[in-house]
Structure 1
Amino acid sequence: MVYVAVIQIAYSSFPPDNGVEVISIAISPKNASIVYAGTRFYGVFKSTDGGKSWVHSGNGSKVESAESLAIDPSHPDTLYIGEGYLPEIGVYKSTDAGRSWHPINTGLKVPGRYYGDPYIPTIHAIAINPKNPKKIILSAIAESGETDHLFLTEDGGEHWQSVYSTSVLSDALAFDPKQPEFVFAGTGDGLLKSFNGGRSWQLSAPPLLYHDSPVPFSALRVLNTTKQIIYARGLGLMKSEDSGVSWQRIQGACSNYAVPSSAPNIIYMDCNIDSNTSVDRNVFFKKHRLWRFLATHW
C-alpha cells in the first residue's frame, strides 16, 4: 500500500524563464535535497534544496538533451547521462557532481542497416547496480526500422557490450535493490528479466495492452521490499506485486518520476492529471507540471 501526501515544488524558479521540457530526473542517493533534472536542448539543471531553486549544471559542456540520467549509488558526485541529439549523442560521465562531462562510448555502437557504418544509438535509460556501481545497463534505441539493444558495462563505462537485441525496446530499466542479480527491462513485447545482473535476458511477462495493442513500458521501479513490487509507466502509473505478471493502474498521465534511495518515501513526478484526484484509497495527486510527493509508508 502507498500512502501519499502532496507538496508542490516551486516550479516557477526552474530556468530558463521561457519554460523547459524536463525529460529525466535523478536524486542523490545520499541527500534527497539534491535533485538533477535533464532537459531537452538546455542540458542538466541541479537543485540543492529539494527543487525550490535550480542552477544550470555543467555550463560550457556539450551536453544538451539528457534523455536519461543516473547517479552512482555509492559515489553521488558521479553521474551518467544519455545525450539524445547529434553530434554529441552517446553516454557522458561526470565525476564532479555535474560540473563537467566526458564521453564514454567505447563499444557502444549498433549495426547500421540503413546508414551504413555502425553508429552510437540514443540512450533512453540507464540503470546502475546498487551494490556494484561499476556495473551499468543501458537501453539503446536505434534508428527507425533497426534493432534496439541493451548494453552492459562492468568497469564503470570504460567498455560496453551488447547483451540483448530486440525490435521494440523502451525506456524502462530497473535493478532489484535487494537482489541486483535480478534486473528488469520493459519492451513492447513484454517484460524482460535477467537473473545474472544483465548478462543474459528472457521474457518473463506479457506486454501491457491497450485495446489489444501492446504498449511499451517507459519507466520501471522495483521497491526495496521482501517481494518484487514493481512500479511502471506505460498505461499511466502501473503497479505489480507479482514481478510483472499482472498489473493494476494507479493513475494516468504521469511521465518522469524518481525515488531517492536515501528517502524512499519521496517521489518526484512530472504529472498532468485532474486536480484533487484520489485513487487507490490513500494516494492523492493534484494537477501541476512537476510535483514532489511525500509518502508515509511504502
Structure 2
Amino acid sequence: MKRIAILSVTVLIGIMAAFLILLFNHELQPQDKPSDKPNDWFFRQRAYPYEQINHAAYIEALKQRSELNLRSNSSGNRGQWEFAGPVNTGGRLSDVEMNPNDMSIAYLGAASGGVFKSTDQGVTWYPVFDTALSLSIGDIALAPSNPDIIYVGTGEANAGGGSLAYDGVGVYKSEDAGKTWEYAGLEESRNIGRIVIDSRDPDVAYVATMGNLFANSAERGIYKTTDGGETWENVLFVSDSTGAIDVVIHPQNPDTLYAAMWERIRRPNRRSYGGPTCGIYRSYDGGESWEELTNGLPTAASQKGRIGI
C-alpha cells in the first residue's frame, strides 16, 4: 500500500513538472504582435469563409428587402410613427445640387441615407429616394437644359471605412424632379464619384466610377451614355485597380472633359491610396480619346494620390 502511495505521488509530481515545463516554454515563445494594418472585422465576418462578399447575392437581398417593404406599405398595417429624434446627430453628406432655374429647390445626397429634396431654400427637407435598392449616394447631377431630369449615382466613393454598407448598385434617373425613379444600369460600378451631363442633351452623361472597393475589377473609369442611361460605354479605362473619382465637363463646350483617375487598393488587411496610375486626363472629343496631363504635376508614384477637379 505504501509503495502504491509513493508511486502515485511520484506520478503526480511528474505530471506537475511536465506542465510547468510546457508553460515555461510557451511563455518563452515569441508571441504574434498585433498587426499595425487595418483589419475590417465587419467585412471579414460577413465574407467568411470567402475573401469577398457575393455581390449578386447582396443585390438579391436588397431586392427582397425592397419587396418586403412594398408589401408592408400596401398592407395598411404600418401604424402611425412620429419622429422622435435625435436631431443633433448627423452624418456625411456626399453632394448638394441646386436647380439653376429655381434657387429654392435643392437636392441633398447622404453617404448612406438616400436623397432629400427641399423646395424652400433648405428650411425643410423630405426624402425622395427611399424606394431605391441602395441609399448610399455617391453623386447627384441635374441636367442643365432641364433640371427636372436628375441622375443619381449610388455607392459612396469616400468609403474610408470600407464597409459594404457604402456599396452601390449603379445609377438611377428621374424625369419628374425626383417624384419617380427608373434604374439606369451600371450595377457593377459599386462606387460613383461624379456624374456630369451634357448641357446640350440630357441623354448624354458621363459617370466616374471607382469600382469594387475590395478587389480588382474591370468596371472602373469613365462611362458614357448617349441614350439617357439605356446603354453605357467605358470610354476611359486605366487599370483594374484604378478608378475615376472625378470628372468635369466644359459648360459651353461639352465635348471637352477632364477626368481624375485614382489608384486605390483596399483589402481587409491592407490599403493603398495612391500609385503610379493616378493622374488627370483630358478629352476634346466627348470622350472618344483621352490624353494624360503630366506637365508640372508630380511624377513619382509616392507623390500621386487622389485628385479633385
Are 2:249 and 1:175 equivalent residues in the alignment? yes
Deviation at 1:120, TM superposition (A): 4.2
Are 2:67 and 1:19 equivalent residues in the alignment? no
Residue type matched to 1:200 in 2? S
Residue type matched to 1:198 in 2? G
Secondary structure at the aligned position of 2:102 is classed as coil
Of 196, 206, 213, the residue aligned with 2:285 is 196
Are 2:217 and 1:154 equivalent residues in the alignment? no
Matches within 5 A, 1:6-155: 17=87, 18-84=89-155, 89-105=169-185, 108=186, 119-143=188-212, 144-147=215-218, 148-155=220-227
The 2-side partners of 1:210 and 1:101 are apart by 44
TM-score, length-normalised on structure 1?
0.58
Deviation at 1:209, TM superposition (A): 8.2
Residue type matched to 1:177 in 2? P
Deviation at 1:152, TM superposition (A): 0.7
Maintained 8 Å contact 2:211/2:217? yes
The 2-side partners of 1:178 and 1:88 are apart by 31
Residue type matched to 1:187 in 2? M
Deviation at 1:40, TM superposition (A): 2.0
TM-score, length-normalised on structure 2?
0.56
Maintained 8 Å contact 1:42/1:64? yes
Structure 2 residue aligned with 1:279: none
The 2-side partners of 1:73 and 1:175 are apart by 12
Give the helix-richer structure, 1 or 2.
2
Q: Which has the higher contact order (CA 8 A, sep 6+)?
A: 1
Bigger shift: 73-82 or 59-68? Answer: 59-68
Overall identity of the aligned pairs, in %: 29
Secondary structure at the aligned position of 2:113 is classed as coil
Instruction: Work out which of the two has the higher radius of gyration on C-alpha atoms and give 1 or 2.
Output: 2
Maintained 8 Å contact 1:209/1:215? no
The 2-side partners of 1:100 and 1:212 are apart by 45
Are 2:287 and 1:213 equivalent residues in the alignment? no
Maintained 8 Å contact 2:115/2:129? yes
Distance 1:28 1:208, change over 3 A: farther
Matches within 5 A, 1:147-296: 147=218, 148-167=220-239, 168-188=242-262, 189-205=278-294, 207=297, 213-218=303-308, 220=309
How many residue pairs get aligned? The number is 194
Deviation at 1:20, TM superposition (A): 2.9
Deviation at 1:57, TM superposition (A): 1.7
Secondary structure at the aligned position of 1:70 is classed as strand
Residue type matched to 1:77 in 2? D
Maintained 8 Å contact 1:59/1:99? no
Maintained 8 Å contact 1:70/1:127? yes
Q: Deviations over 1:161-183 (max 9, x none)?
A: 11111233342111111211111
The 2-side partners of 1:92 and 1:169 are apart by 20
Query: What's the Cα RMSD here?
Result: 2.6
Task: Give unpaired runs (5+ residues) of structure 2.
Answer: 1-84, 156-164, 263-277
Maintained 8 Å contact 1:93/1:103? yes
Deviation at 1:60, TM superposition (A): 3.5
Give the strand-richer structure, 1 or 2.
1
